[in-house]
A and B are shown apart, each in its own frame.
Chain A
Amino acid sequence: MTELGIPIPHAPGFIANKTPRIVTSRFDYEDSFTIERYEETGGYQGLRTALSKTPEAVHGEVRDASLLGRGGAGFPAGVKWGFCPPGVWPRYLVVNGDESEPGTYKDRLLMELDPHQLIEGCLIACYAIGLSQCFLYVRGEMAVAQERIAQALNEAYAAGYIGKNILGTELSVDIVLHWGAGAYVVGEETALIESLEGNRGMPRLKPPYFPASIGLYGQPTIVNNVETLSNLPWILSNGSEAFKAIGTETSPGTRMVAVSGHVKRPGVYEIVNGTTTFRDLIYGETMCGGIRNDAALKAFVPGGGSAPWFTADQLDLPFEASQVGPEGSMLGSGAIMVMDETTDIPAAALTLTKFYAHESCGKCVPCREGGTWLEQIMRRVVNGSGTKRDLDLLIEVGETICPGDFPHASNKEKGLSAVPFPYKMTTICFVGPSAFAPVHSALTLFREEFEAKVAGNSDRNYVEVTINA
């Protein structure tokens, strides 16, 4: 077994720690992805436990565990499962392995290093709520994850864990590996379903808010994240009480968090939910060990590229949604991107805005047009050819996507008080607002850097248009 806080060579990115390890427990083994290692280390015991109980009891166990979804929205999995309308069959399970939020990678590691754990989680979910087929949607750009999952599925079929009469019981489920083909928006669950139906991956109009009522082929469909499902074998083997003993009451268990950017030891860590703070993660000796060259922290993105930014003022917030939300951001997909004092803030914000502008599916006009304009205006500001007027224009364009106050963090130095998460939006999904989030955060927290970039440029060519009634 590996020492604490030490990178594992065969799992690039992952850093082992002394915190309880629920989903990464096998990462220390070089052959963690094989069925032999999986069975040797308690694998498929959670499924056996589940099969010894009634489906309702298994659902109850997961509900009692208060397992929050790990994909971004943080909705309790057990409650989501309960949204399937009674008497409507068949029901499907769709696994969201289309991880592509900037800064995020945990699902890729879980799929590459412990695919059997995910498969076991899928089977437990199918048993509990009567899902008759499971589709494992894996992001296209992850060739290795697809190979590992394909191999694991083939092994598990041969060993009798998947398919007809699993382990000699009545449970009969097929799991189908489905390849994505490169589209960030497909991570949105209704877009994922559209994609799985063979269509362009565009989000569906809401309501219905949950595919649990109308999903794949119009049938009740549970869409769960890879990390969420990977928790199920442990919960079934050890019980919901043991799960709740880790973390806090409202955020039990652990979470995988990727910390990247200007830190000494960037990595993916499994941390205790609810109690670990951003300071622990960024400065902890067994975690990131501080900012590179012992520089000062300028800002960090706390929950994936879509999240409004934090500064040193928010370092002591724990990984707990109920505390991060009121402070103006979200935990999202468990990704922290750290910027040190040398960072060119407008340029950094542009790298995210261009991402969301590029990934807009084009369905909603405010996102398709607004995102593109945000990127173009940001580009000229960053290049030094913007004008002062552009800085207001950025906010104006942003307000067409998110009308009203946009969430931001408090800042003692600047006398800012926080505007809580979330925001209002004029788009179906979060891609549009996400293009604005980095622009808004950067402009609110570091306006002087933008002003320096446009200083001296006249507002030539700008004509105020007034419309007479």
Chain B
Amino acid sequence: MTFFTEENLELAHEIIGRYPKQRSAMIPLLHLAQEQAGWVTEEAMKQIGVLVGTSSAEVLGTCSFYEMFKRHEVGKYVVNICTTMSCALLGAEELLEHAETRLGIKAGSTTSDGLFTLEGAECQAACTEAPCLQVNYRHQYRVTPSDFDQLIDELADPNNEETPRHGVLAQIRQHIPVERSVGAVHPDLVNVPPVWIEEKKEANS
């Protein structure tokens, strides 16, 4: 049983090829799986296990540690409202309460139309622009309750294309051109310094 589309499978192999040990590709591949389905399915974890040479239980172990990986369906837009100190000092609690009322759900749940998942989140590195929130990990600064309502209206518009759906993280990917790539080598296969370093001097230092 395969989960990844042909195109994503190719991408998965490209990503795995960048690491000296394939298991390092686990988190990038979980992101890729989440991008494809909007969340991380069991099928995805099984295939990632095969791809990086480990069991699906190991993949679940890694996957379940990280907050961004959702192991159940979430809304098209995941709205994370920061509630850590700087934001809390400037009204994050009130904003979260307003959001709960506006969306009619408690933090941690999803609206019945499947559009919004609301979460109380931790520091998002925008502390001077408090209170802040993220929609699918893209910032909104100094958000007032009316800003929030407007944002929700904009996102609810089916024609909105500005914010990609949940799972799509970065819309620009790294691609290493084959002719420029040095290539990743398993650490066991290297025991000499790179060519620009003179071993002799190193050994004496």
Q: Give the B-binding residues of A (Cβ under 8 A).
A: 12-13, 55-56, 86-87, 89-90, 99-105, 107-108, 127, 130, 132-133, 139-144, 146-147, 149-151, 153-154, 157-158, 160, 162-164, 169-174, 176-184, 195-201, 217-219, 258-262, 266-268, 301, 305, 335, 337, 339, 343, 347-348, 351-352, 355, 358-359, 361
Contacts and interface: CB of A to CB of B under 8 A. Distances in A.
Nearest to B66: A181
Contact of B190 (A90, A172, A184, A262): A90
Given A260-B128, A358-B122, A153 B138 contact: no
B125 A169 contact: no
Contact of A130 (B19, B26, B84, B197): B197
A103 B27 contact: no
A375 B44 CA distance: 36
Contact of B89 (A99, A143, A184, A261): A261
Contacts of B175: 154
Contact of A198 (B62, B129, B190, B191): B62
B169 interface: yes
A198 B85 CA distance: 31
A89 B137 contact: no
Contact of B202 (A130, A132, A139, A258): A130
Contact of A266 (B18, B84, B128, B176): B128
B67 interface: yes
Contacts of A151: 172
Given A163-B181, A163-B182, A198-B27, A103 B136 contact: no
24 contacts: A86-B202, A89-B190, A89-B194, A90-B194, A99-B125, A102-B86, A133-B182, A133-B184, A144-B138, A146-B170, A150-B174, A154-B175, A158-B180, A163-B180, A172-B195, A176-B174, A178-B27, A179-B169, A184-B122, A199-B23, A258-B128, A259-B128, A347-B88, A355-B84
A173 B18 CA distance: 12
A55 B198 CA distance: 9
B87 to A, nearest CB: 8
Contacts of A99: 125
Interface string B177-191: 101111111010011
Contacts of A133: 20, 182, 184
Interface string B93-126: 0000000000000000000000000000011111
A201 B66 contact: yes
B52 interface: yes
Contact of A217 (B21, B88, B179): B21
B172 A103 contact: no
A143 B23 contact: no
Nearest to B169: A143
B47 interface: no
A132 B125 contact: no
Interface in B152-205: 169-177, 179-185, 187, 190-197, 199, 201-205
A351 B170 contact: no
Contacts of A261: 85-86, 89-90, 127, 130
Interface string B18-42: 1111011111101100000000000
A150 B127 contact: no
Given A89-B192, A150-B174, A176 B202 contact: no
Given A150-B172, A157-B177, A182-B66, A337 B85 contact: yes
Given A260-B128, A267-B128, A305-B84, A359 B170 contact: no
A200 B61 CA distance: 7
Given A104-B123, A172-B182, 20 more contacts: A87-B202, A89-B193, A102-B122, A103-B86, A103-B127, A105-B128, A130-B193, A132-B185, A141-B68, A147-B172, A154-B174, A163-B180, A179-B169, A181-B69, A182-B67, A182-B69, A196-B24, A218-B187, A337-B89, A339-B89
A200 B141 CA distance: 31
Contacts of B171: 147
Contact of A197 (B24, B125, B170): B24
B113 to A, nearest CB: 24
Nearest to B184: A133
Which of A90, A153, A259 has the most CB atoms of chain B within a 10 A radius of its CB? Answer: A90
B172 A351 contact: no
Interface of B is mostly: loop
Contacts of B137: 140-143
Contact of B83 (A217, A268, A351): A351
B134 interface: yes
A104 to B, nearest CB: 7
Which 8 pairs show the lowest CB-CB distances between chains A and B? A163-B180, A198-B26, A182-B67, A181-B66, A105-B125, A266-B128, A130-B197, A260-B127
Between B84, B130, B195, the greatest number of chain A beta carbons within 10 A of the residue's beta carbon is seen for B84
Sorting the interface of chain B by its residue count into under 10, 10 to 19, 20 to 34 or 35 or more gives 35 or more
A236 to B, nearest CB: 16
B28 A179 contact: yes
B183 A174 contact: yes
A357 B174 CA distance: 35
Given A86-B203, A141-B134, A181-B27, A102 B123 contact: yes
A361 B174 CA distance: 30
A174 B184 contact: yes
A170 B122 contact: no
A83 to B, nearest CB: 12
A160 B203 CA distance: 31
A151 B170 CA distance: 10
B114 to A, nearest CB: 21
A142 B125 contact: yes
Interface in B49-102: 52, 54, 61-62, 65-69, 80, 83-86, 88-90
A171 B127 contact: no
A262 B127 contact: no
A197 B31 CA distance: 15
A219 B187 contact: yes
A362 B83 CA distance: 22
A133 B124 CA distance: 29
A178 B28 contact: yes
